[in-house]
Amino acid sequence: MIVFAKEGQSIVDVVLQFTGGLDSLMHIIAANPPLTIESYPGSGTPIFIDNSFVQQSATLNEIRRRQIVIQSNDQSGVAPTPTPGVDPDAQIAINYLDAQGYTPTANVENEIDTLIKALKAANIYSIHWDGYSAGAGVAIIDALYLYLGNLSAPAAMNLADPRDLDAAYRASFTGGWSFSVNGAKGNGVNGYHRTFLTDSLLSATTERWFGFGSKSDTNPTAAVDGGKGAGGQLQRLQARSSGNALVELYSPQQSIAVANSLGNYLAYRNAAGFLYFDKNNVNLFTGSLPIGALTTANEYIVGATNNSLTSTISAGFYSDRIFTHWVFGRNYLSLAQAAAFNAAISAFNSAIRP
Amino acid sequence: MTVLLLTSSEADQLRGQFYTEGVTFNPVQDGSTPPNWVISQEEANECTNNEFMWVRDLPKIEWVKPIEEDETN
């Protein structure tokens, strides 16, 4: 069963009516509770909505259209409700994009679904917004920006928490940006976006991983593609600057010569001090490095690096790169998980970026 | 690349304000001596906030990128 709220209609006005003997509701994806169940033939008992899948982000005036998907294990003999086959978290993301003014094509929907299923298979995807706790040692994604939809609102979505909230690490764009099917591009003058991710507040360890995809082949002298902090223990990435890819992640900066700045970059480290830095799933650097302390509360930003406790940007460091994605994760990412992430995000970008 | 010239008070007025849904102005200083306050062409072109439509009439100047030493390089 699929029900749509009309333009401007409050989701609480939607009434679900069941015409068959629906035995159970496994998942309901909606905008806001409460939904009203008008009738439930053969039962006569209240149906309890599974709020764990209720998206809580939108205010009513943001709702354009919402899809409610019900999966049933009906064994009554009545024709069963078709199961979409779409991962519930992918459906939430698709619905969110739709509510933000971008209706994904069937191909994009399929690729979002494929991406999430691949990340889940590698045990590196979680929806932390519903209280999920990965537990110690399990690599999780805090933010994954896919920059979809040619508009700032859908481009801001965090796939790991599709809500329009700072607390969901939704991107907040500032300055000059442009959005296209290729991704999001800062202007190199004053464009950056906040993540609201302050990693020193996420966990006490320095096991972190982050990365991005680049559709631009540039070689600036001082721009920074993303990071945080200043003064000795930066955490930042740069696809190419003066001929070198740069990485810092609670350890001294590493510069590795690269021929261009196209492709997917991923840096990850473990608590023992080993830093790995890959480009297109090929290792650029592996080494044991001294580990800096979690001493600052600086916030990761994309398109530059902040150099104060808030978000003051060094004016010469803005990036004009086209980003296909950015990812920020924590806890140790194993080599196999890193390869799985690279494969999944590469496949996603190849499928939807021209 | 051209950018749009602001006075200091105009920069204060725009800073942190939304020029379109979900995106805020970010006045910055260029590399001139003395530095100019500027915003980008994108911010003016994409502005849908009626309160700030005047940014489209700002004078255009050539962008002078600030020269900053990367402290970690």
Which tens digits make up the pLDDT trace of A144-202? 999 999 999 999 999 998 989 998 999 999 999 999 999 999 999 999 999 998 877 77
Closest by CA to A145, choosing from A127, A162, A165, is A162
What would the pLDDT profile of A232-289 be if each residue is shown by its tens digit? 557 889 999 899 999 988 888 899 999 999 999 999 988 778 899 999 999 999 999 8
Q: How far is CA A98 from the centre of its chain?
A: 16
Other Cβ atoms within 10 Å of A124 Cβ, number = 26
Check CB contact of B34 with chain A, cutoff 8 Å: no
Question: Region A23-27: what's the mean pLDDT?
Answer: 33
CA distance A323 to A346: 13
Residue of chain A whose alpha carbon sits nearest to that of B43: A176
The three-state secondary structure class of A51 is helix
What would the pLDDT profile of A40-83 be if each residue is shown by its tens digit? 333 333 333 333 333 333 332 222 223 333 333 333 433 333 33
B chain contacts of residue A232, beta-carbon cutoff 8 Å: 72
- Tell me if A29 sits within 8 A of A92, measured CB to CB: yes
Cβ <8 Å between A175 and B28: yes
Nearest to A152 among B22, B68, B70 (CB): B22
How far does the CA of residue A22 sit from the closest CA of chain B (Å)? 41
Tokens, residue A163: 């809500």
Cβ <8 Å between A152 and B70: no
Range in A8-12, A49-53, A294-298, A314-318 with the lowest mean pLDDT:
A49-53
Cβ <8 Å between B42 and A191: yes
| More confidently predicted of A27 and A246 | A246
User: Does the pLDDT of residue B3 top 90, yes or no?
Assistant: yes
Question: Region B24-30: what's the mean pLDDT?
Answer: 93
Check CB contact of B62 with chain A, cutoff 8 Å: no
What ipTM goes with this model? 0.92
Cβ <8 Å between A316 and B42: no
- Tell me if A126 sits within 8 A of A134, measured CB to CB: yes
CA distance A341 to A211: 10
Cβ <8 Å between B40 and A176: yes
